[in-house]
Structure 1
Amino acid sequence: MLQTKMMARIKEPIQVKSLLILSMCSAYIVHYLTNSNIFDHFFVGLCIVVFLLSVSEAKRHLRFFSIGMFITGVIINVLKGTPIEGTTNGILANLPVISLVILVPLLTIPFKIGGYFDSIHFYMDKYSHQLKKIFGSISLFLFCLGPVFNVGTIRILHETIKDIKLAPVILGKSYLVGFSTVILWSPYFASVALVLYYLDVPILHYLPIGLPLAIIQLVCGNLLFWLWLKRNKLSDEVNHLESFHEKENVALEAFHRKKLVHLILLLICLLGLLFLFEFLTKWPMMFLVCSISIAYPVLWSLTTQKWTEFIDHFNIFKKFSVPLMNNEIVLFMSAGLFGNALTGTAASHGIKMLLNRTASISFLLFIIMIVSIVLVFTFIGVHQIVVVTALVTQMDPGMIGTRPEVLALLLMMSWSMSAVISPVNPINLLVSGLLEKSGFSVGIRWNGIFLLVMLIIGSTFVFLIH
């Protein structure tokens, strides 16, 4: 009895924290729809409370780094003579991105209830004895579902196929090749949403250049894997006896094929709704993504009469997923405040002059400089959100001599590469943790050649469309 009471007391602060975080996201949506400034001070106060609750639970190095950026941002605003207005705008600057990161996982609920992962496992097991096909299937799966499931896609897929017992190096290559493409193009992913938000680029203007590079990256990753197999003299056929189906169940395969087709149609529907609403309403992409993340699961559960299951999954999401968003909340909020405060300062002017001068000398040199800055800082532990926010807030496409879409793609390419190579990046950490290998091995040893090839191809691609 005493243990039960103690557990209940421990859960109470978590529940309150979850409700405050979800209230903050809901307040963002209501604030945008009403366009009212009446509750601005309450809104900012709620954000500060959430920040303080999250910062105490964030990772130690992120905690101190975020506090430092937050305090520095406030000090800069005081020196600029805008202590209240500047700080308020800075705190709210990245709130759309925070809301997106928190709410997008709600989209996974219909997929979980629908039982689509059984069909994925069926085909993964079917092709498990052919390394080229299993690599292609894993990377393609991440390319398609990564936008909806975010980083959790890797964990879900690993749990689904871990009984196939593939070599860690194969999984490490396929996971990072597949997921790195998502960072380039997905409007449901925070990287794309953040950069397009700051550069004020509609997703329909960005996708025609972002998606082709993502597809090129996916194809190159698979081709390099085939060459790796050949260079290491590994046969494409492995575990044939274990995976051999003595009698193929045609009816079962037809069922799973139908499930996968349905899954693809749902993904196309989600992307199509986003593009359609952006075209018709001209509303910001992040607002639309947040709204769809709430509306779609609710409407799906009502139309399929799965409301009870939806509530059960939502409660799990509220109790276990939302309270773990500490790192994202403190990083995005403090980076937004710092980046907003930096605008208009002498340091900001110096960064702009450096960027503009480099671009005027050579746009290819400008590309290499941006990629190098992001890779170096993220490799030593600075999150991409901090580096990219500091860069994008100082970029003027007109002064640099290019289009906003091109700058967006350049930053996305840099973000994608840094997510793979940095041993302290969440994606690298997740993959290395699942495979019980070092982040250096997973990022550089296993995927170093892939990153070098993509640096050459990506830089050439950006230069040619410049």
Structure 2
Amino acid sequence: MLRFALILTMCFLYIIDAFIASGTVSIFYSILTVIVFFTSWLLLEKKSKIFTLSLLIIGMIIHYSANGRGLALFQGITQNMPLLAILILAPLLSVPLKREGIIGSTVSYLDELKNNPRNIFYGLSSVMVIVSPILNMGALRIVHGLVENIKIAPKILSKSYYIGFTPAVIWSPFFASVGIVIFYLDITYMSYLPVGIAFALIQLICGMLLFRPKALKEQKLDIPNLPQLDDGQKKHIFLLISYVFLIIVMLISMEQWLHKSMLLLVSIICLSVPMFWFIVRGSLEVLKNEFFLYKDKVLMQTKTEICLFLSAGVFGNAISNTPVKAVIEQTMQWASVRSVGILFIFIVVCVTILAMIGVHQIIIIPLILTALISADIDIHPLIIAFMCIFSWMLSAAISPLNAMNIIISSCVKRNGVTVAYKWNGMYFLFTSIAALTYVYVLNFMLS
């Protein structure tokens, strides 16, 4: 319980520190973040302990070798806290959906589609498209927990998860890919949204049409016609879509009103929406049950992410003050002079290769962004944002060492290479070509 209390307090202090410019709050917040890191680190497996502690120690060595001062080190330990807060708090948004029976009712319809691979592919992908923008990685765990007893072929399951989930990584402010990029580029989410949502729709439509299972000849195989949604299921699907839409609208409105970071606003929404639901519809018994369920999830499912994000903040902040940044900067300048396409390919290849050897995107993307900003490259910020976000999505999907690939491969009980390359390799190749084309179109329109 103490660890859980420390984690929640850390998230609250992050929000308070963003609104109250107090040196005392900032110092206490930084110290608490260090305490949370080490209390979570004790729970990790041996490999994760070695990796995250190595990041922290190397970051500290680099920081002081580059004549960094003691207090400046704390800027690194809290650097990725905006993203970590979202990861910790986002599962709370699923509470109203589960308690109102919305997700359960929606998924129950999939059970009626299980005998037709194409229909179950469309149905499951559609559910994932709706819930993933606000539930982040939790969408994979929640939806799979509800459909794992339905006999769905692993290959179809993996295609549904990837095609339904990956578009959200391109446009949703609940994902670190979007949040960190718009934060570093200092652009509003509203300005990026049309760029992200347009490609997400292209990606989704292409995936749905080109990679769907073959249609069954229903008359010969005696497969029943597509079942109809009953009134209750229609109502719940409408409520689910409305819930997601209203949250996105709230975020955009708050950004225009408060002029605060989208990352901060997402964390506030993750807390306020479930709290409002408990006041209106909940009870003390429900609150108690959900509290203990949430506590267990936070302690068991986010301990690795907590240590990774905090240690990566120290490492990334330290590296940004070394000659490595200058090397990346020069390479970016060289690539951008050749063409925007070469720059895009370089970023994708760089991020993907590093992700394949275990270097998280949260380390390399900020370095690339700071290098691009420092180099004063003559490319529209929205194009840079898309290139970095797409690279994050692609590398997270195909690297067996990244959370998305790990979760999907564990859900379908196959290794990450089989799931990402053998079963979905054509999808990622196709989307990469589409993204390259999209970059050229954006450059033509925005230049």
Same-fold status (TM-score > 0.5): yes
Provide closer, same or farther for how the CA distance between residues 55 and 163 of structure 1 changes in structure 2, counting only shifts above 3 A.
closer
- Between the aligned residues of both structures, percent identity stands at 31
Residue 376 of structure 2 aligns to a residue whose secondary structure is helix
- Whether the 8 Å contact between 2:329 and 2:374 is mirrored in structure 1 is no
Q: Give the root-mean-square deviation of aligned CA atoms.
A: 2.2
Residue of structure 2 in register with 1:167 after alignment: 153
Q: Are 2:13 and 2:25, in contact at CA under 8 Å, matched by a contact in 1? A: no
Query: Deviation of residue 236 (structure 1)?
Result: 6.1
The answer as to whether partners of 1:129 and 1:237 remain within 8 angstroms in 2 is no
- Tell me which residue corresponds to 1:179: 165
Structure 2 residue corresponding to 1:308, chosen from 273, 285, 296:
285
For the residues of structure 2 that align with 1:334 and 1:305, how far apart are their CA atoms?
Answer: 38
CA drift at 1:314: 2.1
The aligned residue for residue 329 of structure 2 is: 352
2:123 aligned with 1:142, yes or no? Answer: no
Contact 1:86 1:341 in 2 (8 A): no
Higher alpha-carbon deviation: 395-404 or 133-142: 395-404
Contact 1:98 1:328 in 2 (8 A): yes
Q: Secondary structure at the match of 1:399?
A: coil
Tell me whether 1:61 sits opposite 2:47 in the alignment.
yes
Out of 404, 407, 413, which is 2:384 matched to? Answer: 407
Question: Does the Cα contact within 8 Å between 1:119 and 1:257 map onto a contact in 2?
Answer: no
1:442 aligns with 419
Tell me by how many angstroms 1:447 deviates: 0.6
Aligned residues: 443
Letter in 2 for 1:408: A
- Give 1:243 deviation, angstroms: 6.3
Q: Which runs of 5+ in 2 are unaligned?
A: none
Distance 1:323 1:216, change over 3 A: same
Offset, 1:307: 4.8
Structure 1 contact 100–289 (Cα < 8 Å) conserved: yes
Shift of 1:453: 0.7
Name the residue aligned to 1:34. Answer: 20
Q: Does structure 2 conserve the Cα–Cα contact (< 8 Å) formed by 1:146 and 1:179?
A: yes
**Shift in Å, 1:40:** 2.6
Quote the Cα distance in structure 1 between the aligned partners of 2:168 and 2:105. 22
Q: Which residue of 2 aligns with 1:123?
A: 109
Runs of 4+ in 1 over 4 A off after TM superposition: 236-245
What SS does structure 2 have at the residue aligned with 1:400? coil
Name the CA shift for 1:88/1:125 in 2 (closer, same or farther; >3 Å): same
Taking a change above 3 Å as real, the CA distance of residues 397 and 424 of structure 1, as seen in their structure-2 partners, is: same
Residues 456 and 339 of structure 1, relative CA distance in 2, 3 Å threshold = same
Q: What are the residue-to-residue correspondences of 1:163-242 with 2, within 5 Å?
A: 163-226=149-212, 229=214, 235=216, 237=218
Q: Which residue of structure 1 aligns with residue 340 of structure 2?
A: 363
Cα shift at 1:88: 1.5
Which letter does structure 2 place at the counterpart of 1:30? I
Give how far 1:397 is off.
7.7
* TM-fit CA distance, 1:237: 4.4
Give the drift of 1:155. Answer: 2.5
Letter in 2 for 1:432: S
| More moved, 122-131 vs 405-414 | 122-131
Which of the numbers 302, 306, 324 marks the counterpart of 1:329?
A: 306
Secondary structure at the residue paired with 2:24? coil
Distance 1:299 1:195 in 2: 30
**C-alpha displacement at 1:205, in angstroms?**
0.9
Q: Where does the alignment leave 5 or more consecutive residues of structure 1 unmatched? A: 1-14
Contact kept? 1:188, 1:289, Cα under 8 Å: yes
Query: CA contact under 8 A between 1:335 and 1:385: conserved in structure 2?
Result: yes
The alpha carbon displacement at 1:122 in A equals: 3.1
Distance 2:397 2:198 in 1: 20
Q: TM-score, normalised by structure 2?
A: 0.93
**Structure 1 residue 242: deviation in Å?**
7.6
Deviation at 1:458, TM superposition (A): 0.5
Structure 1 residue 63 displacement after superposition: 2.8
Q: Which amino acid aligns with 2:158?
A: G
**Amino acid in structure 2 at the alignment position of 1:312:** N
Q: 1:442 to 1:236 in 2, by over 3 A?
A: farther
Following superposition, the deviation at residue 81 of structure 1 comes to: 2.5
SS at match of 2:115: coil
Distance 1:36 1:237 in 2: 67
The residue correspondences of 1:267-306 to structure 2 (distance < 5 A) are 267-306=244-283
Output the TM-score relative to the length of structure 1. Answer: 0.89
